[in-house]
Amino acid sequence: MMLITFIFFIVGGKLFFLQIVKGKSLQARALDQWTRDVPLKAVRGSILDCNGNELAGCNTTYTLYVRPNATSSVENSARAISQVLNEDYDEILKKISKKGVSEITVAKKLSKQDMQALIDSGIDGIYFGRDIERYYRYGNYLSQLLGFVNADGDGQAGLESYYNEYLKGQDGKELTETDLVGKELSGEISYLPATDGLNLKLTIDSTIQFFAENAVNSALSEYNAKSANCVVMNAKTGAITAMAQAPSFDLNHIDRSDVSSLFSKMKLNAITSVYEPGSTFKILTTAIALSLGVVREEERFYCAGARVVDGKRIRCWKSIGHGSQTFAEGVQNSCNCVFMALAERIGVDRMYQYFEKFGLTRKTGIDCVGETSSILLNKSAVKTVDAARIGFGQAIAITPMQLIVATAAAVNGGKVVTPYLMQAVTDSGGREVIRSYPADRGRVISEQTSATVRRLLKNVVSLGSGKLAGVAGYSIGGKTGTAQKYENGRIAAGKYVSSFIGFSTVEDPEYIVYFMVDEPMGYRYYGSLVAAPYVGQIFSKIFEYKQIKPTEEVIKLTYFEMPDLSDMTAGSAITAVNRLGLHLELSGTGGRVIAQYPAAGEIVNNNSIVLLTLSED
């Protein structure tokens, strides 16, 4: 009895293990043995702009399978397939006559018409799998942002990767019962239907995106630059309206032979690369100084062309100096000496406290892969001379997106926003499954301080270096930036980052536009000449597209011939330019003019900017 009882428990335990513990996996294995399955690919969700225009979608194609054991006549099957697909009969016959193979893949990427023609031919033993092929409606448009998918249809880069779980769906199967050698038993087919992916609706407006795309491609060509980048964001909410980058490539024809090169091309500079912001950073120094009350608009400063800090002489961009000027004029003139003085008054501790509040010490949180953060000196290691340089945009490296978010806070009333690209996730019927809402990270400066910052930056566009970003009849504020690049810890001769960040309207900012040209070639590398005009073009087109009416009086332009300033002393040339009422940029530190732009004899107007190249000391 003990032996029988022991054997009973052994058998019972084994049955419990097989039927309960391993039951589902064994059933799956059995199902796999007596069925043959044809994959049914889920349709990947579409990517749409904010107006519902398709940016990325899918084409459906079909794969043809033949099961030789289920085919009554391989000759008839080969003949029908070769006729429909216009393929060689002998090759098809050879392929489907293989022995010991239960299922053969005959052809891929068939059209729906080809599939229907084969079905109508009446041949047996053929099956079709649905394949999904990703396509991008505009090819090289939004390439770095949208990203791409791999051969299996899974996102590998950009938004395709970030939102892959929503977009990809769940594949299904078509199941047929077969015997040991793969011959159909009942003729009945079971379906495990595929669940299509959800659609991703972006904050991107494809029309404004076109404006940005055209601008970056024009800048790349005009200045033979390394790259050109543009971001348009809603300053109040953080919604990204456009994000363009050149050079780009066609997402529909990706060269995958060199993976490292491919992923290098896919870098979205606005969030993955850091740069010295140059004078665009003066917006933040201005906001911090005003917020702390360490400066007044009418307070006067003196610029002699340089300032000595910790025993080191740091030059202003205008080597001959700006002379006596108010703080408001110092912002308009982008005077480095003024901002060095502000940095000293602010102090390192308070400076870094505001960097934290403005979001410069962390990632912005934008919903896209690859975002990096700033490179800041350790606060304990920052000397007074370092703080002075940081005050005018040197000795600090941040991403363009960090600069945009911080600038938005400086001009939108003081609120730090989180940039975002996903407006909503919807199903095939258009019903919203998920919705994004603006995320407020708190207030960094007061509305009154922000209003003052906006007013000062309006003067930069109407009277200063940002003139070429202006649009007649509209109030626009902004700041130019021209930063030197470094290689191996040293200044790289002749390599600059030229940028402009602007917003409109000054009274109630909605759009903020950042434009950057990396390493423009030639002597016209200033942000005022390289980047600002493109921001003006983009704003002009946005105003027209959104039917925003002008609110300011249009100042009549006067045209005249540019005089010849070559070989004049720097002082005489500057006096001549000031007499003409033109904004002046200087390159070089010498006392004599060796080149000028615009050239002598060109027709210019009172809104033009003059660049004088001076001899070296």
For the cut 50, the answer to whether the pLDDT of residue 613 exceeds it is yes
Rounded average pLDDT over 125-147: 89
pLDDT at 33 over 60: no
Q: How far apart are CA 95 and CA 105, in angstroms?
A: 9
Write the pLDDT tens digit of every residue in 157-188: 999 999 999 999 888 776 666 554 445 555 55
In the chain, ranges of CATH 3.90.1310.10 domains = 35-199
pLDDT tens track for 312-341: 999 998 888 899 999 999 999 999 999 999
> Is this prediction's pTM over 0.75?
yes
Please give the Cα distance from 448 to 435 (Å, whole number).
33
- The answer to whether the CB of 153 falls within 8 A of the CB of 168 is yes
Phi, psi (rounded to 5 degrees) for 352? -70, -30
- CA atoms within 13 Å, Cβ hemisphere of 18: 7
CATH number for the segment(s) 556-617 = 3.30.10.20
The CATH 3.40.710.10 domain(s) of the chain lie at 206-248+260-555
| Backbone conformation region of residue 568, classed left if phi is above 0, alpha if psi is from -120 to 50, else beta | beta
Over residues 399-430, the pLDDT tens digits come to 999 999 999 999 999 999 999 999 999 998 88
Query: For residues 423, 426, 432 and 433, what is the CA-based torsion angle, rounded to 10 degrees?
Result: -100
Q: Which stretches of 463-511 are DSSP H helices? A: none
Q: What is the pLDDT of residue 18?
A: 66
What's the CATH class of domain 35-199? Answer: alpha beta
Three-class SS state of 587: strand
- Kindly report the three-state secondary structure assignment for every residue of 380-430: HHCCHHHHHHHHCCCCCEECHHHHHHHHHHHHCCCEEECCECEEEEECCCC
CATH 3.90.1150.10 fits 206-248+260-555, yes or no: no
Residue among 262, 191, 197, 186 at smallest CA distance from 43: 197
Q: Which residues are catalytic?
A: 279
Cβ distance 517 to 225 under 8 Å? yes
Which of residues 185 and 72 earns the better pLDDT score?
72
How far, in Å, CA of 197 to CA of 200, rounded? 9
How far apart, in whole angstroms, are the C-alpha atoms of residue 498 and residue 480? 8
Portions of the chain given CATH number 3.30.10.20 = 556-617
Who's near 63: CB < 8 A, 6+ residues apart?
105, 107, 108, 109, 110, 128, 129, 131
- Give the bridge partners for 504, in sequence order: 476, 511
Residue 87 phi/psi, 5-degree rounding, is -110, 165
Structure tokens at 511: 């759009």
Q: Which two tokens stand for residue 301?
A: 């400063």
484 CB contacts (<8 Å, ≥6 apart)?
A: 276, 491, 492, 495, 496
Which pLDDT belongs to residue 21? Answer: 67
Residue 492 · residue 485 · CB < 8 Å: yes
